[in-house]
Amino acid sequence: MNIAIIGSGLTGSLAAISLANSGCRIDLYERLSDEELINRDRTYAITHSSRKILQKIGVWSYLTTNLVPFQYLNVIDYELNKQCQFLINDLNLSDQKYSAVGWIAEHKNIMSSILKIISNIDNINKIPTSVIPNTNNYDLIIAADGSNSNTKKKLKTPSFNFNYDQMCITAKVLLRGIKSNEAYEILNSEGPFAILPLGGDLFQIICSQSIVKGSYNMSQPKSLFLDYLATILPYGIEVDTIIDEPKSFPISFLFNYLFYSGKYIYLGETAHKVHPVGGQGLNLCWRDVDSLTNIISIPILRNNFSIIPVIYSLSRLIDVLLISILTDSLVRFSRSNSIIFGLPRKFVFVILKNFVFIRKFILNLMTNGL
């Protein structure tokens, strides 16, 4: 089967490896150089669903040295002064043996490892351009060219999208009073705020806040930003210093009504984009890759490839819809000051604290998807 993939971000690149492993011939189109692809300052939370996919295609062992495992995930609601801790014991039995609730990965490390793997696979041909000369050469064309996909614009595929009235600020900081194997997701009225371990005392801060407040914080010198961080860190955790320049990016939501158009298939952020809360984005993109590989590997469909896009689109609908609704609700829920939401919020924490099976259900949904 001849497949073109447009976009060699983390979704397109993983799709190239996965589909090449199942015997497809891949032309991978990317307009950026490898150096530009690698030099993005992002940090991802990697879940067990991604671990399984990476193991299946044989790249997990190459990436593990770049991953920082965490054993505790603390969820705090500042407004209610409530806290809940997810532990390894809350995972499925088969996931528990990996001794991690999840992993934190820096973009530079995983992107460079994945590009190295691609360079050693014979049936992946990297083409440094954004234009496919002749689309008739391909049985399927995968658009993994990101949330501003030109491919999708050209094909006029309808989608539901909006910008959050929030922006995301990220920074690497040295912290005291926190274990090197714990992560935090803090819900407060400004928006969710994550603390992710990067090894030793180094942590990544991912802070969503209103555009007005975020723009103000970004315009301040580092020392004032440090003071601001000191006011929002949980009690007992202190910030020593900021390692890099804080960065900011807008937050948007995107959901395509269909994940295909003719023989074009939309993968990753071309098809959907969710709020960074809960670190679901990349994991959801990689589950698209797994789903498509499973479908393409069904022998009867190899000779009947025109129905692959439809089956793929249907197969991804529930998982993407559910995670999109969950993450969006979490943001709205945490930012609402309404008394109407106060009681259900308290109720959720009481349930999570006292009912192990519900805590397990939620953690497994967030880590394995549907």
Closest CB to ligand FAD among 102 and 309? 102
CA angle 107, 369, 277 (to 5 degrees): 55
Closer CB to ligand FAD, 27 or 145, in the complex: 145
Instruction: Work out how close the CB of 328 gets to ligand FAD at its nearest, in angstroms, rounded to a whole number.
Output: 16
Between 149 and 368, name the residue whose CB sits nearer to ligand FAD.
149
Nearest approach, Cβ of residue 81 and ligand FAD (Å): 28
Query: Residue 10 or 292: which CB sits closer to ligand FAD?
Result: 10
Cβ proximity to ligand FAD, 140 vs 352, nearer residue: 140
341 near 80, Cβ under 8 Å? no
Closest approach of ligand FAD to the CB of residue 182, in Å: 18
Q: Which is nearer to ligand FAD, 327 or 334 (CB)?
A: 327
Closer residue to ligand FAD in complex, CB, 7/191: 7
Beta partners for residue 83, in sequence order? 76
Gap between the Cα atoms of 8 and 40, Å rounded: 13
The nearest distance, CB 111 to ligand FAD, in angstroms, is: 9
* Residue number of the CB atom closest to ligand FAD: 9
- Considering the complex, what minimum distance in angstroms separates the CB of residue 13 from ligand FAD? 7
Q: Least distance from C-beta 338 to ligand FAD, angstroms?
A: 29
Write out the residues near ligand FAD by the rule CB under 6 A. 6-12, 29-32, 37, 42-44, 130, 144-146, 150, 170, 206, 249, 268-269, 276, 279, 281-282, 285
Closest approach, Cβ 187 to ligand FAD, in A, equals 18
